[in-house]
Structures are given as C-alpha cells and as structure tokens.
Amino acid sequence: MNLNAKNRIAVTAPVLLTSLLSCVSAYADYAPPLNVSLQDIVAASDDLLSRPDIPVRGDNGYVEDIIRFEVAEMEWDVGMSVHEPVDTADIAVGADGKKVGIFLLHGGSGDFKSMHRQARMLSQKLGYKVVSMSYPGRHAFHSELREWPGKNVRDDGSVRTPIWLRGEEIMRDEYDIIFDTGQRPRYGTRRLAKARPGTNFYYRMAGWPLALEAGGVAAMRKHFPENEFSIYVHGHSTGGPLVNMLSQRVPNVAGILAIENSPFGYIYRAQAAWGGQLGKIGDFDVPSEAIQLPSRSDPFDELYIRSWRDSARYVGPELLGSEGPQALMRLPMVMEDILAGWERAQKQPQFKAEYVITHGIEASMTAAATVTAKRLELDADETAALVDHYVGLTRELSGPGVKPVPPVMFQISAFSRDHSRAVYEQVTIPMYQAMDPAPKYSLTQFMAGKHGYMAGDEKLGLPSGLGPAVFLQWDSAIKSGWFMTD
C-alpha cells in the first residue's frame, strides 16, 4: 500500500479493465462484479475522466428549475438543477431504447448543489440527462448563488430554518432550542429547533413528507416523460430511503442506483439495530455493540441543527478502516481538519428533518399525519387513510396493481461507517428478498473509498474518488439491459 499510483496500475490495460470496462463489447452478458479492485477503480477513473466533454446546457453546466405545487392545502416550492446535452441527439439511450434519465437526491447535510459533481460527470461524460433536486426546504431561494449565508447557529442563539416557500420565513418565536444527549456516543450533543404547536413551522414540519413525495414525482414527470425516458434514481445516504420510496410512484423509474445509499426506512432501522455479528471497516473488525443503535424516536416537530460532530462521526470510522487505530495518535490534526471542513460546509443547509422517513419512525409519521389531518379537518376514515399514507412512505408498496420495487444495484465503499458488506448480507438483502415480488439486486464492494464516494485521493490516483468507477458500472448495466424486467 506504499506504492505510488503509477506503480499500482503498472499492468496492461486489458487485465485492468476486465471487471468494469470490457462491457462495451459484451453488454449482453454483463453482471455487476462482487468486488472492484483498487487497480480497476483507478483504470476506470482514468478512462472516464479522459473522455471528451459533451457540450451541456447552461453557463454553469446546468439550468435551474423551480416547481411550485400545492399539497395538504399548502403551497410549496422545490428547486433543482437540470444537466443535459445541448443537442438532445447526444442524450444516451439504454438497452430498452429509451433515453437515460438520472434523478439525484443529496445526503443529510446538503442540497441540489451537493450532487453537482456527480451530475456534471454523468451528463458531460456519459450523455445522460440528470436532475438534481433539493429536499423541500433545502433550496436557498434567498441567495443569488443558492448558497446559505452565515452560519446555521447564529450569535443570538437562533438557527437556520428551512425555506419551504419563496418569500416565507420561519420566525424565532415559532420554535424553542433544546439539546439532546440520548444518542451522544454516535452524535455527541444534538441541538434541535422544536416547533411550537399551532405555528406555521409546526404545520410545515408535519406536512413536508407529502411535499417531498409530490415534488419528486412532479420533477420526474416534467423532465423525464414516460414515453421518452427510463429513469434511474440515486439518493446518497439520507437520500436513499427517499428515492426508494419514489421509485414505485413514478411509472418509468427503471432502477435504483444505490451507491452508499440507505434503503427503505424500516430496513435502515433494522440495519441500525442489527447485532450479534461482527461488522468490518477495512480490515478492522468492529464488535456488534459498537454499531448497534437504540431504536430512534425523533419527533416530527424537531429540526436537527447539524454541527462538526456529524463530520467527526464519519471521519473516525473511515480513518479506522484506512489507517487503523494508530490514526488516533494524530487526533489533534484530525480535529483541526474536521473543524476547518465544517467552516467550509456552512454554505450548505446543515439542518435535517428527514429521520422520521429514513429510519421508519412510524410513531412520528403517525403524529405528523394526525396533525395534518386535524388542520385539514378530516374525518376519522380520512385521517386513518392519511396515517396509512404517511407510514407507507417508510416502506415498499405492495398489493394488486402496485408497481414492484425496480431492480436495485447496491454499491458500497471499502471504509464506510454504515454500509458494510456484513450488514448488507445479513440484514438488507434478506429484507429486499422478502418483498413480494422481490426485486432483482446486485451487491458490489469497491476496495477503496468512503461514504462520501466522490472524495478525491490523489495518492491513489483517484481525483474524483470512486465516482467514475461507480458510474461506468451504472452505464454498463443500463446499456446491457440488466435493469430490464419482464
């Protein structure tokens, strides 16, 4: 592991490309690999990054779009970027004969811009049309550059809050600040903005799950017409349960691209509670008691205000996997880097309300639905139906006439905290197999990288991290027909 990047790839190209890049001439026989070696990751990165750029629309490589819609008798704005070739004839076509559309959702700290590196690479190098959408409330409508100004915790003690509608502002008297230490081993002390009952903030926090569903469906219907496009959805981390949910609500979603992508909320909850086995980060075994978490009970009306601690909880395991316990010997340096990175990250939203869906917290979803139903003056039957709808956002739909969960391509990095091969094999995949009908799936582990899979590592010869190797696997599967079902 001390060799430089050039020495690592000092073998002939045909040998390096067999597991990832030889699919151009053998698409029909394509099967996602179980593992992708560092050498093949580097070769894939070199291949994709060396390809000429396809001209795309927009001065910044994208065009912004904002959709306004009404759900639960409230208006909502959702923002997104659209990345596509200038010449529509350059849009890639999959094995099913339809144009390739990619729908991206970001992770827990970010917004639509958090996925721009992925979107640019997919549109400029592979010719896909890509939409990167912000969760409801995450788009910085009040900033020309769509970057959040200032800090998420202000000097006067107030905090940054979502913008669910352009021109609307959540006022300081709409919430209380509370501190939670119930999950301190994982998160440290958590700062929360708790909405006061009866305020606009309270009702928005109760209603945003419906806005997420409606906004995602509207965005895909607008930009990926069913008769023209097949859509492949990817949600990084927190975005994973959200695109899993959306995958059954849009007819032409053909596959789930699950690189470091949490599953449906109820499955992610099972992952978090998993115990009795050893997890593994890199070559280092992690006892079950270190990864097993108590069941979450986050109320729907609490907005989590993120901090540097959220960076630390990923950096620690990633260093454990890549360097081993000796990384603790330079803890002051590690903390300096974490704190510096946190300052740079302040232009992202850095608040979070999505745990109620991503961890399948049915009690909180029931409470949110009940508050919304009471505001709408629904009767008992209508309230029960709304509760079922909310809870249904945390799990797959089933029954007659329901679209099945589409094929799922699971991909994990070598040093991820929450996405080990063991938890996928013991928990995640068996729960997908238990669905009726069970979706087609694959599981690939990349033998490098971390949860932030686009993070560059120049020492390894990976300026864009795992991204290029991941995207070439997607391309091989889409163009081979791997995602096509009878």
Fold entry, domain 5-480 = Rossmann fold (3.40.50)
- Residue 185 confidence (pLDDT): 85
Structure confidence at residue 24 as a pLDDT band (50, 70, 90): very low
Mean pLDDT over the full length of the chain? 91
User: For 106-120, 315-329, 386-400, 456-470, which range has the lowest pLDDT when averaged over its residues?
Assistant: 315-329
Lowest mean pLDDT of 69-78, 85-94, 251-260, 292-301, name the range. 292-301
Looking at residues 207-213, what average pLDDT do you find? 98
220-247 pLDDT, tens digit each: 999 999 999 999 999 999 999 999 999 9
Residue 177 DSSP SS3: strand
CA distance 80 to 327: 39
- Percent of the chain at pLDDT > 90 equals 82
**Residue pLDDT, tens place only, 249-282:** 999 999 999 999 999 999 999 988 885 344 555 5
Residue with tokens 């890639």: 92
* Phi, psi for 235 (deg, rounded to 5): -125, 115
DSSP 79-106: EEEEE-BSSGGGS-B-TTSSEEEEEEE-
Question: Cβ atoms within 10 A of the Cβ of 198, count?
Answer: 11
Give pLDDT, residue 81.
98
Domain layout of the chain by residue ranges: 5-480
Confidence of residue 296 (pLDDT cuts 50, 70, 90): confident
Highest-pLDDT range among 15-19, 126-130, 184-188, 314-318: 126-130
What pLDDT score was predicted for residue 485? 87
Edge-to-edge strand list for the sheet holding 351-352: 175-180, 190-195, 302-305, 351-352
Q: Which pLDDT belongs to residue 16?
A: 37
Region of 62 on the Ramachandran plot (φ > 0 left; ψ -120 to 50 alpha; else beta): beta
229-235 and 99-105 beta bridge pairing = parallel
Q: How far is it, in rounded angstroms, from Cα 203 to Cα 62?
A: 33
CB-hemisphere CA count at 13 Å for 212? 28
What is the distance between the alpha carbons of residues 365 and 80, in angstroms, rounded to a whole number?
Answer: 26
**18 or 78, higher pLDDT:** 78
